Amino acid sequence: MNISRARLMVLLAMSIVGMASSFMVLYTWYLLRQPLPICTAPTSIEPRGGITINCAAVLSSPYSEVAGIPLDALAAIWFIINAGLVILFATSRRPGTYLKALMGWRFIGIAIVPYLIYIELAIVRAICVYCTIMHSAIIIDFILITVLLRGSQAMKKIAPRP
């Protein structure tokens, strides 16, 4: 299935936003060891001062890594693979194969986001602006691919027959 250049750009946009956010965290926080722009001072978002906007609290928590690998590195990899699958889907002569992979890959992303939001809000009691941008990019990306491809011929080819 050939998709228009505009649709391709829309599908790639969220991966680009997510990559930019994850690379900013990796470069500034992990490489330079400096506070992130926008998140330099904790700011309360609750009247009683419970949850704060505090990237440092989120990124220095024990939940910010899996087996010693920063979640932001895993997010960068996720967004790069996602963008690659979009390009393969858009340019392949057999888009159904890549659409299945793309939908499965996006499901993995959308399944992890609620857990990460729970960690930020309920356990760390802080929100990282850059993490929120990545979470939003994954959610919007999932919605966009579902809406944009819902009626496509490629989707009809892989959908189970009643």
Widest CA span in the chain: 57
pLDDT in tens, 113-152: 999 999 999 999 999 999 999 999 999 989 888 877 676 6
Whether the pLDDT of residue 91 is over 80: the answer is yes
Q: What is the span of the domain harbouring residue 85?
A: 5-158
DSSP lists the bridge partners of residue 65 as 70
**CATH code, domain with 134:** 1.20.1440.130
Six-digit token pair at 50? 């419970």
The total number of structural domains in the chain stands at 1
CB atoms within 10 A of CB 71: 21
9-63, pLDDT tens digit by residue? 888 999 999 999 999 999 999 999 998 988 867 666 666 667 888 999 999 999 9
| Closest by Cα among 82, 81, 60 to 71 | 60
Which H or E element spans position 158?
helix 153-158
Q: Is the pTM of this model over 0.75?
A: yes
